A = this chain, B = another copy of it.
Amino acid sequence: MPFLNHNLKNGLQIIGEASPSARSVALGFFVRTGSRDETGDVSGVTHFLEHMVFKGTPRRTALDVNRDFDRIGAHYNAFTSEENTVFYASILPEYIPQAVDILADILRPSLRVEDFEMEKNVIIEEIGMYEDQPMWSAYDHAKRTYFADHPLGNSILGTPESIRALTRDQMHAYFERRYVAPNITAVIAGNFDWERFVALVEERCGNWSSGFVGRQGVRETRGSRKFEVLTKSKVAQEHVFLLSPGPPVESPLRYAADTLALAIGDDSGSRLYWALVDPGFADSTDCSFHDYEGTGSFYTSFSCEPDRAQENLGIVHDVLHQVQKQGITEEELHQAKSKIGSRVVRASERPMGRMQAIGMAWTYLHQYRTVDDDLKAFDAVTLQTVRQVLDQYPLDQFTTLALGPLEKPALAGNNGKR
């Protein structure tokens, strides 16, 4: 049994998956907090705080953090999503003590006012950088249009205005509330000694404060059903997103939903690929399934020359209506399952991949899932379970957002109301 777990008295959870034949080890601290846990007056604080974690502690300057990670050859980073903030490092097993020492230290950051003010500029630049990427920008606006006043519609980065208005004390209060021990899981995968790892985490994190843990506003949504066009004359291509409802992360239907999305819109050999990209009507197309706590969504998208956008939108409507009515074929199901099996296996081949997989499964579901568990779950998907997904979460209940040079009258959609 390669799975290991232990809770500290303050509520911090520690989990591990041992692969003694691995040559490296990956470790991460999963903080169960994201943009959906923000109130409107601190929009972007979660992501900004992720940056500040690297800016120093009572024991380390920002320079020391960088140097100390470099000294042990760590490959390290962090990310912030709607629901999680994750800090991680991949190292050779001999450096576990140093890596735990650094990660545990930086997770109690000083949040010095001068660093805080300096870092605001970095965040505002990052917001600008993302806004320059039309596909990403369209994705972000589509998410907000779909989720509307649901907390999942909150922006991860915030706006230049919300970041400028944020104070160090607001961030500190957010930190105190969300970075409590019971809201954090320390995760390790690869080649390690479990007893030593637990002892190290206990030594470094045992005094972290406890506190109330929870998430408000967990509820289902089926989207605003709006059709919006965001005109950006400087953007060359038209970028269009159609969002429709899907099962939440806790639903056993999520495997069928993933498979269905792949059959519809994988970047090669999918229904949308043959309808849009292969004939040269669009540069790219995609359909992905995103699952969150309490709700989920299918994101269908394409980008193309503006004068093709209206016609392509019609094609996407046709494809989605047809899948909704007739489902996918046995051959499409088989192909999607082959691709997923191959991807699940490839993602599992590194300690880094396993660390992320077991950390997420634990954070969301308090479950340990092996690679085989996931492979079996995908293997069990049938045309019937795909049908269940379609019946419970109709694909043709779109919320649509287009971003690009077009103006609203030039692009119109019946939004699936036939």
Contact = CB atoms under 8 A, between A and B. Distances in A.
A289 to B, nearest CB: 18
A416 interface: no
Which among A63, A95, A269, A348 has the highest number of chain B CB atoms within 10 Å?
A269
Contacts of A352: 346
Nearest to A349: B350
A346 B24 contact: yes
A66 interface: yes
Contact of A346 (B90, B338, B340): B90
Contacts of A215: none
Nearest to A270: B70
A338 B71 contact: yes
A345 B21 contact: no
A91 interface: yes
Interface string A319-359: 00000000000000011011111110110111110000000
A66 B23 contact: no
Contacts of A408: none
Contact of A67 (B269, B340, B346, B350): B269
Task: Please classify the interface of chain A as helix (H, G, I), strand (E, B), loop, or mixed, using the class held by over half of its residues.
Answer: helix
Contact of A73 (B22, B67, B338): B338
Contacts of A345: 23-24, 92
B346 A349 contact: no
A66 B22 contact: no
Nearest to A352: B346
A63 B277 CA distance: 13
Size range of the chain A interface in the assembly:
35 or more
A75 interface: yes
Given A23-B349, A23-B371, A71-B335, A91 B269 contact: no
Contacts of A340: 73
Give the oligomeric copy count. 2
B91 A342 contact: yes
A72 interface: yes
Interface string A168-210: 0000000000000000000000000000000000000000000
Nearest to A23: B345
A415 interface: no
A281 to B, nearest CB: 16
Contacts of A351: 349
A376 to B, nearest CB: 14
Interface string A65-79: 011011111110000
Nearest to A372: B23
A10 interface: no
A70 B269 contact: yes
A73 B23 contact: no
Contact of A74 (B23, B71, B342): B342
Interface in A29-44: none
Given A23-B371, A341-B92, A346 B66 contact: no
Contacts of A24: 342, 345-346, 349
Interface in A298-331: none
A75 B346 contact: yes
Contacts of A348: 23
20 contacts: A21-B21, A23-B371, A24-B349, A67-B269, A69-B269, A70-B268, A70-B269, A70-B335, A70-B339, A71-B335, A72-B342, A73-B339, A73-B340, A73-B343, A74-B342, A75-B342, A92-B338, A92-B342, A346-B350, A349-B351
Please list the 8 inter-chain residue pairs (A to B) with the smallest Cβ-Cβ separation, ordered nearest first. Answer: A73-B338, A70-B269, A73-B342, A73-B339, A349-B350, A23-B345, A24-B345, A70-B335
